Amino acid sequence: MTETKGATVSVAVEDGIAMVTVDNPPVNAISQAIRQGLIDAMAEINGNPEVAAAIIIGAGRYFMAGADVREFDKPALPPSLPEAIASIESSEKPVVAAIHGVALGGGLEVALGCHYRIVDPGAKLGLPEVALGIIPGSGGTQRLPRLIGFAKALDLISSGRQAGAGEAAEMGLVDAVAEGELAAAAMDFIRQRIGAAPPRLSAIDAPAPESQDFFETARRRLARRARGQESIVRALDALEAATLPFDQGAKREREIFNELRGSDQAKALRHAFFAERAVAKVAALDGAKPREVASIGVVGGGTMGAGIAVASLRAGYQVTMVEASTDALTRGLGNVEKNLDGYVSRGRMSEETKAGLMAEFTGAVDYGALGPADLIIEAVFEDMAVKKDVFAKLDAVAKPGAVLATNTSYLDIDEIAAATNRPGDVIGLHFFAPAHIMRLLEIIRAASTTPDVVATGFAVGRRLGKVGVLAGICDGFIGNRISAKFRQQAYAMIEDGALPWEVDAAMEAFGMAMGPFRVMDLSGLDITWAMRKRQAPTRDPRERYVAIADRICEAGWLGQKTGRGWYVYEDGKPSPNADAESIIIEESEKKGIARRPFTAQEIQDRILYAMINEGAKIVEEGIAQRPLDVDMVEIMGYGFPRWRGGPMCAADIIGLDQVLGKIRDYAREDAFYWAPAPLLQRLVADGKTFSDLNGG
């Protein structure tokens, strides 16, 4: 038995079969101790004449979740995983991998090094390495196409998706799906193979690619899909090397793996992986128990309310929707049904499941119907007086202990809570449209929100499949506050000489899902217009105000919904709005600005640095707990490229001194807008990074 700090590989022999159990809680990550343990176990098995065959199995919930990602920030520790896998594959005695839970990344590579694979019906298999900015580095790109062909291997490796047991069996990735208990089924399976020559994937040639131009076509397609993410394209290079003899291909794979392992993109994607899990860890909530939630009330049946209702139904909650009139309710119910039909028509939900969900869904025009709900989420028009009225009504009907949530995207939740006699039960749950699809949920703690209500927000968010991020109260919370700030920079640039489509193209080349002007057209220009009008009375006179967007709105061009905004939409396709360009040029002239060209790099820098500076202020004010919370909001809700790790991680990678230097340069032209965040200045002075504030 090899043992290091709780990570063990043990061998137990029973009736001539060795059961090799990998045990490294919680997910059996393949750390150095496990790699060494596998090599020792194989030596023991091959040296023991009483053993005829072996089974490799995982203790706990999973077979193996892959290489230990925490080791990637440090120098590689011998022995390597390819060495461990080679020791399994070269065994003279047959070895079967008995897979339950997941076999991911290096875990699946271990299984591919075994001579056979048998799986539990609930098992999932995949090579998710590209999502971590690397490629399978222990033979995955070489053995997988030898087993299932290039097309299927490329699909699994480039998407990182997990295949279920049935699909894995169909594609030939596994030899058998276990009936009954997995270990017993593996015993029966391997006993029948004793004496037969163990099949080794490294000993055979890969089949011919599915078409002559297979790699060329795939390269073009993947480059488009990758939007700047290197690992996806490099995985194809490694896969192509599987056309070579195994040793040469495996060497090439390892070289690419090692190159990517220390890359900025891999660091950023690892950060995103751990940040996604860390957001749920809220120090201030230690010990707070979430309240029981089985039924959810939704006030409002518009796009947001319907999306929230659908997300809740799909997560198994009973849902009651309340609208102000019978007509509005009919529309709301229709919106919910339309969303569910979308799943059905895409083959992602059966009619039967839909009918089952609709049976859990009721509508009413009377607030009294919300009385039994454990959690009520308000999603009505964004207006303080309207929201206060709704909350006063909820206060009158909701049962004691019900959580009352508002989906406001910027209004003061303390003020909303004050409309009730139970402000401790009031919280912000800020969903993002479309609410049944977008994974971000900002969980906003008002001054009086009790810890168990915040804990309930996280628990419900998790059950809805969302990534919940805690935020404090300010105008726009985390995400919309940053967007407002960088939109101002985008406006300033178009007034100084850039054009909206140049800004969008630069930001899309940076990796954003959509440029800021296209986003505005999509959400409707009236939303930010209303916000500017609301802020007008308190706007600081030192702020540079760009009136271009107001003029566009005054012309009645509100974006996609009116067929015209920054762009003109014909058949849904955007082309630059020449009239908007005339307005932009007029506005520059009005202010006597000599328009100048902007490079894509300058556009990207200004927008990114505006996000970083505001993000630092948000962390400093305690609106976000840590920089990683800002990163997750931007990645999950605002299309920030995950492979850049979010704005705060991107700042660390660029170097905070360089970021601060640029902000100070920009401050020479607009000292108010570009006032450097004190936190950023302090970190630079202390030689620290944002990641130092993330803890753990």
**The one segment of 62-70, 167-175, 237-245, 598-606 that binds ligand 3HC by CB under 6 A:** 62-70
Sole binder of ligand 3HC in the list 68, 120, 382, 504 (CB under 6 A): 68
- Least distance in Å: CB of 8 to ligand 3HC? 16
Q: Which residue, 132 or 584, has its beta carbon nearer to ligand 3HC?
A: 132
Q: Which residue, 62 or 410, has its beta carbon nearer to ligand 3HC?
A: 62
Sole binder of ligand 3HC in the list 37, 58, 94, 105 (CB under 6 A): 105
Alpha helices (H) in 90-163, listed in sequence order: 106-113, 140-148, 150-159
For residues 571 and 568, what is the distance between their CA atoms, to the nearest angstrom? Answer: 10
One-letter identity of residue 7 = A
Give the footprint of ligand 3HC on residues 28-57 (CB under 6 A): 29
Return the closest-CA partner of residue 427 out of 360, 382, 375, 380.
375
Give the footprint of ligand 3HC on residues 547-606 (CB under 6 A): none
Give the footprint of ligand 3HC on residues 261-320 (CB under 6 A): 274, 277
Residue whose beta carbon is closest to ligand 3HC:
105
Sole binder of ligand 3HC in the list 26, 287, 556, 687 (CB under 6 A): 26
Burial of 68 (0-12, 13-18, 19+ CB in 10 A): buried
Residue 78 makes contact with ligand 3HC by CB under 6 A: no
Q: Which residue, 286 or 571, has its beta carbon nearer to ligand 3HC?
A: 286
Residue 423 makes contact with ligand 3HC by CB under 6 A: no
SS (H, E, C) 475-502: CCCCHHHHHHHHHHHHHHHHHHCCCHHH
**The one segment of 63-71, 213-221, 242-250, 646-654 that binds ligand 3HC by CB under 6 A:** 63-71
Q: Which residue, 161 or 561, has its beta carbon nearer to ligand 3HC?
A: 161
Q: Long-range contacts for 326-332 (Cβ within 8 Å, ≥24 apart)?
A: 326/365, 328/301, 329/301, 329/363, 329/364, 329/365, 331/301, 332/300, 332/301, 332/302, 332/305, 332/306, 332/363
Beta bridge partners of 540: none
Q: Which residue, 193 or 234, has its beta carbon nearer to ligand 3HC?
A: 234
Residue 539 makes contact with ligand 3HC by CB under 6 A: no
Residue 403 makes contact with ligand 3HC by CB under 6 A: no
**The one segment of 61-69, 144-152, 517-525, 557-565 that binds ligand 3HC by CB under 6 A:** 61-69
**The one segment of 21-29, 241-249, 282-290, 474-482 that binds ligand 3HC by CB under 6 A:** 21-29
Residue 7 makes contact with ligand 3HC by CB under 6 A: no
For residues 180 and 504, what is the distance between their CA atoms, to the nearest angstrom? Answer: 56
Residue 250 makes contact with ligand 3HC by CB under 6 A: no
- Least distance in Å: CB of 635 to ligand 3HC? 16
- End-to-end Cα distance, the chain: 30
CA distances, 695 to each of 26, 75, 267 (Å): 20, 21, 16
Catalytic residue among 44, 129, 382, 614: 129
- Least distance in Å: CB of 144 to ligand 3HC? 11
Are the CB atoms for 567 and 558 separated by under 8 Å? Answer: no
- Least distance in Å: CB of 121 to ligand 3HC? 17
Are the CB atoms for 129 and 189 separated by under 8 Å? Answer: no
Are the CB atoms for 219 and 209 separated by under 8 Å? Answer: no
As a residue count, the chain comes to 696
Q: How many residues bind ligand 3HC (CB under 6 A)?
A: 25
Sole binder of ligand 3HC in the list 37, 66, 301, 516 (CB under 6 A): 66
DSSP string for residues in 523-583: H-HHHHHHHHHHHGGG--TTS----HHHHHHHTT--BGGGTBSSEEEETTEEEE-HHHHHH
Q: Which residue, 157 or 174, has its beta carbon nearer to ligand 3HC?
A: 157
For residues 20 and 11, what is the distance between their CA atoms, to the nearest angstrom? Answer: 5
Catalytic residue among 109, 240, 502, 614: 109
Q: In the structure encoding, which two tokens stand for residue 161, read together?
A: 């998706």
- Least distance in Å: CB of 65 to ligand 3HC? 3
Beta bridge partners of 92: none
- Least distance in Å: CB of 140 to ligand 3HC? 6
282 φ, ψ to 5°? -115, 110
Sole binder of ligand 3HC in the list 70, 539, 544, 591 (CB under 6 A): 70
Q: Work out the angle at residue 86's Cα, subtended by the Cα atoms of residues 82 and 87, and round it to the nearest 5 degrees.
A: 120
Residue 104 makes contact with ligand 3HC by CB under 6 A: yes
- Least distance in Å: CB of 302 to ligand 3HC? 33
Q: Which residue, 104 or 531, has its beta carbon nearer to ligand 3HC?
A: 104
Does 109 participate in catalysis according to the annotation? yes
- Least distance in Å: CB of 500 to ligand 3HC? 38
User: Do you find a cis peptide bond into 26, omega within 30 degrees of 0?
Assistant: yes
For the CA atoms of 403, 408, 414, 420, what is the dihedral angle to 10 degrees?
-50
Residue 465 makes contact with ligand 3HC by CB under 6 A: no
Return the closest-CA partner of residue 406 out of 364, 452, 446, 464.
446
Sole binder of ligand 3HC in the list 33, 65, 470, 616 (CB under 6 A): 65
Sole binder of ligand 3HC in the list 9, 22, 27, 473 (CB under 6 A): 27
User: Given the structure tokens 């009375």, which residue do they identify?
Assistant: 537
**The one segment of 37-45, 64-72, 283-291, 583-591 that binds ligand 3HC by CB under 6 A:** 64-72
Q: Which residue, 62 or 477, has its beta carbon nearer to ligand 3HC?
A: 62
- Least distance in Å: CB of 432 to ligand 3HC? 22
Residue 102 makes contact with ligand 3HC by CB under 6 A: yes
- Least distance in Å: CB of 76 to ligand 3HC? 10
Q: Which residue, 81 or 111, has its beta carbon nearer to ligand 3HC?
A: 81
Beta bridge partners of 376: 297, 404
Alpha helices (H) in 639-668, listed in sequence order: 647-654, 656-667
Q: Which residue, 75 or 195, has its beta carbon nearer to ligand 3HC?
A: 75
Residue 112 makes contact with ligand 3HC by CB under 6 A: no
Residue 394 makes contact with ligand 3HC by CB under 6 A: no
User: Given the structure tokens 């726009």, which residue do they identify?
Assistant: 476
CA distances, 265 to each of 130, 270, 399 (Å): 10, 8, 49
One-letter identity of residue 133 = G
DSSP state of 67: B
For the CA atoms of 487, 492, 496, 500, what is the dihedral angle to 10 degrees?
20
DSSP state of 624: B
Residue 467 makes contact with ligand 3HC by CB under 6 A: no
- Least distance in Å: CB of 259 to ligand 3HC? 13
Q: Which residue, 277 or 289, has its beta carbon nearer to ligand 3HC?
A: 277
Residue 106 makes contact with ligand 3HC by CB under 6 A: yes
| Site mask for ligand 3HC (CB under 6 A), range 119-158, x = bound | ---------xx--x---xxx-x------------------
CA distances, 85 to each of 112, 484, 496, 661 (Å): 9, 52, 59, 49
Q: In the structure encoding, which two tokens stand for residue 234, read together?
A: 């490099």
* Residue ranges that bind ligand 3HC, judged by CB under 6 A: 26-27, 29, 62, 65-70, 81, 102, 104-106, 109, 128-129, 132, 136-138, 140, 274, 277
User: Any idea which residues carry the catalytic annotation?
Assistant: 109, 129
